[in-house]
Structure 1
Amino acid sequence: MILHDFLPSGNGYKIRLLLTLLGKSFDLVEHDITKGETRTPEFLSRINANGKIPALEFDHGRVLVESNAILIHLAEGTPYLPTDVWERTEVMQWLFFEQYDHEPTIAVLRSWVGIKGMPEHADIFVPMKRAGAKKALDLMEKRLSGHNWLVGDALTIADISLYAYTHVAEEGDIDLSIYPGILAWLDRIAALPGYVPITWKP
């Protein structure tokens, strides 16, 4: 397998983390999104017509894109995706929440602060993003203040997906110290056998 990725990306890190937890070997091909390397004709025609990473290229030639779709595919038949229908659906709920409420606020703030720089009219957009980030983290804290994991009693791809940008939220000037449940959850994931940090590459 070949993972097309940008190392600072939380969306790419989700895949790297799950692959290592599963003990699967893969090659990493890096594309610098800040230099337009996912917008080249070759990338758009061969890897992802939407011009985004991550993209997971399989040995048979097929390419799967969208980080949470990749997580679902890789987790099929493993403990990271429950077989119980209700718990499986709860995992999906968190994955949709991650892409709709969490990533567009926390990941965007991190990108503005540490990667791409502030946008025009930051005085308007930043407070809006911070309010959205707080709402997302408050919801996670409500669950994690009384439970070890987001779904059921074990780690799932819901945790992996939401961990990716939550654990680097402070790079977007988001204070996590007010969320003890989230902090304890972050520590549990970082202590997993096979855990790798976002900067790791094979």
Structure 2
Amino acid sequence: MKLYGMTDSGNCYKPRLAMAKLGIPYEHVETSSRDGTTRKPDYLAKNANGKVPLLELDDGRFIAESNAILLYLAEGTRLLPEERYERAVVCQWLFFEQYSHEPYVAVRRALLKYPERAKLATPERLAETLEGGNRALGVMEQQLERSPFLAGAAMSVADISLYAYTHDAGEAGFDLTAFPAVSGWLKRVENDPGHVPMMPG
């Protein structure tokens, strides 16, 4: 399989981390939205939405959207439960990540990290993303006070999805010491077999 993505993107880190933990071989194809690569005709023919990550299967089919890729990779593995309710809870956290966590934690990180986003980093926008991110971290904190992983006793793709932008939330100005259960969970994810950091080396 081929994975098209940006090495320093949390969304692109998700499938790389899942494949590392599951021992799935793949070829990484560095593809950046910042240099226009994702808007070129050859890439748009693969993903009309012009975004990364994108997984190319061995048979030539494609899967876009990071959490959809996670569900595909995790099918039949330890990272996705078979029981109906437990699987729905995993999906619940994947939707939470995209609608309640990523728009604040990841966006705030991007505003502060990438020079081309600096003009969008207004005091109002930074305050909004800080408030929303802390709210999302608070929801995670409540769950992780009750269970070692987000969907229960076992590690799942819910944890991989939310780990991607939570583990470096400090770079975005979030104080993770205010969320001790989240901090403990980060260590458990990192201690899970096969873990790799977002940035190589």
2:199 corresponds to 1:199? yes
* Secondary structure of the structure 2 residue equivalent to 1:193: coil
Change (3 A) 1:38 1:89: same
**C-alpha separation in 2, matches of 1:132 and 1:79:** 31
Alpha-carbon distance, 1:168 to partner: 1.1
What TM-score, normalized by structure 2, do the two folds share?
0.96
Alpha-carbon distance, 1:121 to partner: 6.4
* Secondary structure of the structure 1 residue equivalent to 2:138: helix
Root-mean-square deviation (Å): 1.3
Alpha-carbon distance, 1:83 to partner: 0.9
* Secondary structure of the structure 1 residue equivalent to 2:192: coil
Aligned to 1:97: 96
Alpha-carbon distance, 1:171 to partner: 1.4
Query: Are the aligned partners of 2:12 and 2:52 in contact in 1 as well (CA < 8 Å)?
Result: yes
* Secondary structure of the structure 1 residue equivalent to 2:55: strand
* Secondary structure of the structure 2 residue equivalent to 1:18: helix
Aligned to 2:185: 185
Query: Are the aligned partners of 2:21 and 2:193 in contact in 1 as well (CA < 8 Å)?
Result: yes
* Secondary structure of the structure 1 residue equivalent to 2:177: coil
Query: Are the aligned partners of 1:146 and 1:181 in contact in 2 as well (CA < 8 Å)?
Result: no
Aligned to 2:49: 50
**C-alpha separation in 1, matches of 2:163 and 2:173:** 17
**Residue ranges of structure 1 left out of the alignment (5+ in a row):** none
Give, as a single letter, the amino acid of the residue that structure 2 aligns with 1:118.
Answer: A
2:50 corresponds to 1:41? no
Cα deviation digits, residues 64-120 of structure 1 (max 9, x gap)? 000101111111111111111111110111000000010111000111111244233
Give, as a single letter, the amino acid of the residue that structure 1 aligns with 2:34.
Answer: T
Give, as a single letter, the amino acid of the residue that structure 2 aligns with 1:69.
Answer: A
**C-alpha separation in 2, matches of 1:79 and 1:171:** 31
Aligned to 2:123: 123
* Secondary structure of the structure 1 residue equivalent to 2:63: strand
Query: Are the aligned partners of 2:3 and 2:29 in contact in 1 as well (CA < 8 Å)?
Result: yes
Aligned to 2:155: 155
Alpha-carbon distance, 1:36 to partner: 1.6
What TM-score, normalized by structure 1, do the two folds share?
0.95
Alpha-carbon distance, 1:200 to partner: 3.0
Aligned to 1:145: 145
